[in-house]
Amino acid sequence: MTVSPRVAVLDYGSGNLHSATRALAEAGAEVILTADPATASSADGLVVPGVGAFGACMSGLVAVGGDRIIADRVAAARPVLGICVGHQVLFARGDEHGEVVEGCGVYPGLVTQLDAVRLPHMGWNEVRTPPGTRMFEGVTGERFYFVHSYAALSQADLPVDAQATWTRHEEADFVAAVEWGNVWSTQFHPEKSGAAGGRLLRNWLATL
Q: Which domains does the chain have, with CATH numbers?
A: 6-205 (3.40.50.880)
Mean pLDDT of 100-124: 96
Residues 154, 109 contacting (CB under 8 angstroms): yes
Encode pLDDT of 57-82 as tens digits: 999 999 999 999 999 999 999 999 99
The distance from CA 107 to its chain's CA centroid, rounded to whole angstroms, is 12
* pLDDT for residue 1 is more than 90: no
Task: Tell me if the pTM is above 0.95.
Answer: yes
**β pairing state of 121-126 and 143-148:** antiparallel
The residues carrying an active-site annotation are 84, 189, 191
Assess whether the previous peptide bond of 120 is cis (omega < 30° from 0): yes
- Looking at the DSSP bridge assignments, the partners of residue 102 are 93
> Cα 67–82–85 angle (5° rounding)?
80
**120 alpha carbon, distance to own chain's centre:** 18
Spatial contact of 111 and 93, defined as CB atoms under 8 Å apart: yes
Q: Using one digit for the tens of pLDDT, what is the confidence trace for 122-158?
A: 999 999 999 999 999 999 999 999 999 999 999 999 9
Q: How far is Cα 149 from Cα 53, in angstroms, rounded to an integer?
A: 10
CB within 8 A of 43, min separation 6: which ones?
Answer: 6, 7, 8, 32
